[in-house]
Structure 1
Amino acid sequence: MRSILRTDPIARDVAALCAAAMVVGLSFGAIASAAGVPLSKIIAMNALVYAGGAQFLAVGLVGAGATAAAIVLAGLLLNARHLPFGLAIGNEVLGRRRILGSHLMTDESVAFALAQDDPARRRRAYWLTGISLYLTWNVSAAVGAIAGSALGDPDVFGIDAAFPAALLALTLPSLKERAAVRVAVAGAALALAATPLLPAGLPVLVALLALPLASTKLARNK
Structure 2
Amino acid sequence: MPDRTLLRTPSGSGRAVSDAGVVRDALGVGVAVGVSGFAFGITAAGSGISLAQAAVLSLLVFTGASQFALVGALAAGGNPLTAAAGAFFLGTRNAFYGLQLAQVLRLPRRMRPVAAHGVIDETSLVALAQPDRRSARIGFAVTGVTIYALWNLTTVLGVLGASALGDPEAWGIDAAGPAVFLALLAPMLRSRTERAVAATAVLLVLAGQPLLPAGVPVLVAVLAVPVTLALRERAPRTVGTADREEAAPPSGGEREEES
Q: What TM bracket, shorter-length normalisation?
A: 0.7 to 0.9
CA shift, 1:7, in A, is 6.5
1:13-162 to 2 correspondences below 5 Å = 13-90=25-102, 92-93=106-107, 95-162=109-176
| 1:140-176 alpha-carbon deviations (Å, 9 max, x no partner) | 2222222223233334444444444344333432345
Runs of at least 5 residues in structure 1 that lack an aligned partner in the other structure: 1-5
Contact 2:33 2:176 in 1 (8 A): no
> How many angstroms apart in 1 are the aligned matches of 2:122 and 2:176?
17
> How does the TM-score come out when normalised to structure 1?
0.83
Runs of at least 5 residues in structure 2 that lack an aligned partner in the other structure: 1-17, 245-259
Rg (Cα) greater in structure: 2
Task: State which of 11, 23, 37 in structure 2 corresponds to 1:11.
Answer: 23
Contact 1:29 1:142 in 2 (8 A): yes
Identity of aligned residues (%): 36
> How many angstroms apart in 2 are the aligned matches of 1:43 and 1:178?
40
Q: Which has the higher helix share?
A: 1
Contact 1:61 1:71 in 2 (8 A): yes
> How many angstroms apart in 1 are the aligned matches of 2:200 and 2:132?
37
Equivalent in the alignment of 1:180: 194
> How does the TM-score come out when normalised to structure 2?
0.72
Contact 1:34 1:154 in 2 (8 A): no
RMSD across aligned positions (CA)? 2.7
Read off the aligned partner of 2:211 and give its amino acid letter: L
Number of residue pairs the alignment of both structures matches: 217
Query: Are the structure 2 counterparts of residues 144 and 116 from structure 1 closer, same or farther at C-alpha, using a change threshold of 3 Å?
Result: same
CA shift, 1:43, in A, is 0.9
